[in-house]
Amino acid sequence: MLLAYRILCTLSLVTNEIVILFYVVPVDGVGTKVNEEGIAFYNNLINALIEKGIQPFITLYHWDLPLHLQETIGGWLDKQIVNYFAIYADTCFAHFGDRVKNWITINEPLQTAVNGYDTGIFAPGRREGSSEEPYLAAHHQILAHATAGSIYRSKYKDKQGGQIGLVLDCEWAEANSDKIEDKSAASRRLDFQLGWYLCPLYYGDYPAVMLERLGDRLPKFSEEEKKLLLNSLDFLGLNHYTSRFISHATSCSEESYFYKAQEMERIVEWEGGEKIGEKAASEWLYIVPWGLRKVLNYIARKYNNPPIYITENGMDDEEDNSLPLSEILDDKLRVHYFKGYLAAVAQAIKDGADVRGYFAWSLLDNFEWAQGYTKRFGLVYVDYKNSLTRHPKSSAYWFSRFLKGGEKKNGKEN
């Protein structure tokens, strides 16, 4: 049942514990027989982490849907998948929950729904389906999360003492002007990112703006399902990298049912000509620390100030074999990124946001989905051509000093 894992490094702003977040992945998704080799692999991994004083956070689903479920029932488009996910989650709770106290059901369901069943750039690559497909996939992911949460609370929480959450990704949406049209567009953008998932889980149904704009394209929750959804989060995981200026637009340049329904444009240059921030390697990633503070405060205001873990935050460099290793390792821009974003987190905490921890994406350079090995997010450089040798970057050394309380020279923190 369980084969692969990915690892992030993290620090906890509250406890200063060392924490590792990793993903468990189901193989075929069906049947009653558990893959004992997979269980043994994860038992060994969890035990090794704990022996080193590392606290594991486990993500059950990170876009790795068993192929069999896609081929036989259509993946997230069929409601049966909620039951399959429940069996899988129950299996993980039963085998690992005596040591694992932090569970994440699904990572970035928006990406699965939109990029899997709308734009088609992620698996299963559907771009010719109906305009209802992304909302149906999201609907079933929401129910899968809530069902897994109900299982954990009813069977395991009292004995194991853990907590369960959901990870959402969100860019901050900053209105491009003081015009009411742009402010409304920015508000819609946030509802289509966060509200899509958090409104059902905190208020029992989709955001009003989505109900109004999408109509019958949005599936309906039954009254029983609404009761299941409410209070199914112990914490919220937030993946945040960047922000955008948002303008109202009746026509959208992005070929997507999801984006067109929002009637907005995401732009990186303010109407006065100022860029939103310095660009990283990926075309979508600009360095905007103040956006993280704003999105944390927005969540605190709108969703009853839930406990938040920032489960991904970081920036990438372009793969460039022409540079000497010493220059590659001296990643000053990444150090600048983390200083700015961690300062924004500290400001949000002072504002009252209940932030419990912070994960940096990522510990190692790794395979970045559609971008493959062309982008490097790691604190540690991985030499793909020489036996995967690891070399800490300047950002890794900076984090080490930061976790120890910071080093100062001439009265200034480095």
pLDDT exceeds 60 at position 126: yes
Is 375 in a helix, a strand, or coil? strand
Residue whose token pair is 């998932």 = 197
- Note the pLDDT of residue 304: 96
Whether 1 is in a domain gets the answer: no
Give a yes or no: residue 204 inside a domain. Answer: yes
- Provide the mean pLDDT of the chain: 90
Q: Is 236 inside a domain boundary?
A: yes
- At 80, which amino acid appears? Q
Read off the pLDDT of residues 221-236 as tens digits, 9 standing for 90 and up.
999 999 999 989 999 9
Q: What does the pLDDT look like over 189-245, one tens digit per residue?
A: 999 999 999 999 999 999 999 999 999 999 999 999 999 999 899 999 999 999 999
If one counts the domains in the chain, the total is: 1
Whether 2 maps to a domain, the answer reads no
DSSP label at residue 215: G
* Structural domain of 46: 7-413
Residue type, position 173, single letter: A
What is the model's pLDDT at position 129? 73
Catalytic residue positions, numbered: 108, 312
Q: Please give the pLDDT value at position 24.
A: 61
Q: Where are the alpha helices (DSSP H) in 241-313?
A: 257-262, 289-302
- 80 occurs within a structural domain: yes
Assign residue 368 the CATH number of its domain. Answer: 3.20.20.80
- Report which of 235, 242, 241, 194 is spatially closest to residue 356, judged by C-alpha positions: 235
Sole residue written with tokens 């995981």: 237
Give the number of other Cβ atoms within 10 Å of residue 219's Cβ. 17
3-state SS, residue 293:
helix
pLDDT value of residue 253? 73
Domain contains 309: yes
Q: Which residues pair with residue 167 across a beta bridge?
A: 107, 237
**Which pLDDT score is estimated for 8?**
40
pLDDT tens digit sequence for 346-392? 999 999 999 999 999 999 999 998 889 999 999 999 999 999 999 99
Q: Is the dihedral of CA 61, 20, 157, 146 positive or negative?
A: negative
Tokens, residue 239: 């993946």
Nearest alpha-carbon partner for 56 in 162, 146, 154, 153? 162
